[in-house]
Amino acid sequence: MVEFPEKFDSEEELDDFISEPSAQLIDLCRNWKGPTVVLGIAGKMGYHLGMMLVKARDRSGSSGEIIGVSRFSDSEARRKVEEAGIRTVAADLLSPDAAAGLPDAQRVVYMVGRKFGTAGSEELTWAVNTLIPQAVCRRYAGIPIVVYSTGAVYPRVPLESGGADESLPLTPLGEYANAAVGRERIFQYMSGVTGTPICLVRLFYAIDLRYGVLRDIGEKVASGETVDLNMGYVNVIWQGDAVNQSLLAFSQCAIPPRPLNVTGPEIISIRDTAERFAELLGRRAKFSGTPATDALLGKTDRTVGLFGPPRVSVEKMIVWVAEWIKAGGRGLNKPTHFETRNGDY
């Protein structure tokens, strides 16, 4: 059992904690052999997922190289991934020949995506989210793939429903969310065509101290900016729990693909969260807008039934984010735009 710290004093400490695998994950990978390939490792979550794979492999006594693929547009991200003991392969997966050059794998995590910058370059978002999946399924035909999808594939649901479950029809607003539905549909189609078992992880808002919905709210309260309440409620999950649960999802890969909501079971109020930050930061929270009676929310009954609840509570995350902001901890400057209600990113 991992001890929860009061706060984090460095990014190394934070990265180490986020990438801590659960006993359940160590158990799952005990019999894994051969390479695990992580496509899109250079993003906000990939380093933690790669590190968690390394730790789970070493502690379970299993074998197999961990290999990370990305364009590595940020060379610092590549250095960090390699230092964690992960081999890297640079590839632009949109290029027609890229898939053929990918390393062999016994299992694949698919984290490639494009969201921000969609408005004005819609065609690129559709290309990344729907062309690459076809090439990947052909290259890794028959090999289990955990695919990072998003909770944004659902429409907004009434608050009293408690959230969308995995059977809700996928009718979201906006080009990004529809391209994410496209990504799922291509994986679903190609799963049948190529005999590839897949689990579609519909993730809602991972929380790191350097980015995420809580950092967005905490920063606004700390700097005296107004917090927009129009999207009044969200679900969030500690990034370490999100990564851990998505790796446990290898046990759920199937033909046809199974969708799985990954987020926290609590619906959190943006107003209450901002008030809690105000208390912790010694500031006054300012608000604009009125919470609507619907929001982008997901139910996690299926996932909690399979893997148990996330390890970290929302209150713990708020306290950690507040301490991090107070200490001047680095942020990624990548706001989530959780307040967006029209699907434009």
The region of 86-94, 153-161, 265-273, 308-316 touching ligand NAP under the rule CB under 6 A is 86-94
Beta carbon of residue 31, minimum distance to ligand NAP (angstroms, whole number): 26
Task: Map residues 119-158 to x or -, x wherever contact with ligand NAP holds by CB under 6 A.
Answer: ---------x-------------------x-x--------
- How far is residue 155's CA from residue 169's CA, in Å, rounded to a whole number? 8
- Rounded CA separation 296/136 (Å): 29
Shortest distance (Å) from residue 42 CB to ligand NAP: 4
Integer CA distances (angstroms), 33 to 36, 60, 125, 316, in order: 9, 11, 34, 36
CB of 90 to ligand NAP, least distance (A): 8
Interface region with ligand NAP, contact rule CB under 6 A, candidates 113-121, 190-198, 297-305, 313-321 = 113-121
Closer CB to ligand NAP, residue 206 or residue 229? Answer: 206
Q: What minimum distance in Å lies between the beta carbon of 70 and ligand NAP?
A: 4
CB neighbour class for 115 (10 Å; exposed up to 12, middle 13-18, buried from 19): middle
> What is the Cα 139 distance to its own chain's centre?
24
User: How far from chain centre, in Å, is Cα 145?
Assistant: 15
- DSSP β-bridge partners for residue 69: 39, 89
102 binds ligand NAP (CB under 6 A): no
Nearest to residue 203, comparing CAs of 162, 264, 254? 264
Q: Which string of x and - marks every residue 43-62 that binds ligand NAP (by CB under 6 A)?
A: xxxx----------------
What is the footprint of ligand NAP within residues 216-255 (CB under 6 A)?
none
Burial of 101 (0-12, 13-18, 19+ CB in 10 A): exposed
Q: Give me the least distance between CB of 130 and ligand NAP, in Å please.
A: 12
Q: At what angle do helices 213-223 and 270-281 cross, to 10 degrees?
A: 50
Nearer to ligand NAP, 45 or 297 (CB): 45
CA nearest to 86, candidates 110, 117, 53, 60: 53
Say whether residue 71 binds ligand NAP (CB under 6 A): yes
Q: Is 72 in the site for ligand NAP (CB under 6 A)?
A: yes
Question: Is 205 an interacting residue with respect to ligand NAP (CB under 6 A)?
Answer: yes
**Binding residue for ligand NAP, selected from 115, 302, 311, 326, defined by CB under 6 A:** 115
Answer for the pair 171, 155: CB distance below 8 angstroms, yes or no: yes
Q: In the set 42, 86, 157, 296, which binds ligand NAP (CB under 6 A)?
A: 42
CA dist 219 → 326, 338, 339 (Å): 10, 14, 15
Find the shortest distance in angstroms from Cβ 39 to ligand NAP. Answer: 7
Per CB under 6 A, residues contacting ligand NAP are 40-46, 70-73, 91-94, 111-115, 128, 148, 150, 203, 205-206
